[in-house]
Amino acid sequence: MDEETLRQVEQIIGHKFSDSNLLAKALTHSSVASERILSNERLEFLGDAILGLVICQVLFERFAGHMEGDLTKMKSMLVSREICAQISRQLGLQKFLKVGKGMIANRALSGSLAAGVLEAVIGAIYLDGGLDTVQNFILRTFASSIDHAQEEQAQGNYKSLLQQYAQEHSNITPVYVLLDEKGPDHDKCFELGAVLGERHFPSAWGTNKKEAEQKAAFNALVELGVLENTSLETEN
């Protein structure tokens, strides 16, 4: 791979390599490598692990009020092939990936191969510049995706959003109180209310306790001014 191409990629990713051979390998697909061990597959393996580590850390630190299940969902979305391919295309990395002649027109260049070259570049940056350097690269290139994941997770998961708000502003955890229930055992409805410290918020009905808790959390968020009152049904 010629030096001019490597310089272009370095400008795109914002890192100048001490060992340019690492970058060249990251951009070499197995279909064109003289030996498979000389392709970017090992760097892709490493980059996938590094990406997962960095994303897990930023989610853990940024979303202190989210439980393990919510964090796992966000992490799975952010490290998915779809998101990695999207970011790779935004950077234009797939244009620099060396592939065999039979794969040049392969549609996978905009999918799994695009994702793979991003992961390989992440692995190469880590080996060349260390964890801080690759962390900066990942946080910069995944910033909008992380913001989008937060928005998607907050939508419809009002309990997590209320817990995050309560911990950040009052260092307390919301409690949900069962106020009433009605109907036969096979078709019960439940009324619950959210409580923050001494403050009680408008209750809500649901066909099960989890639904009622989500609606009660929504009511609390509206009263706190975190959300606007929308068409969410909060009464049975």
**Residues tagged active-site:** 48, 119
Give 163's contacts (C-beta < 8 A, 6+ positions apart): 65, 66, 67, 173, 174
Compute the distance between CA of residue 6 and CA of residue 23 in angstroms, rounded to an integer.
Answer: 7
* Residues in contact with 235: Cβ distance below 8 Å, sequence separation at least 6, in sequence order: 204, 205
CB 71, CB 153: distance < 8 Å: no
* 76 vs 52: CA distance, rounded Å: 9
Tokens standing for 80?
């998915």
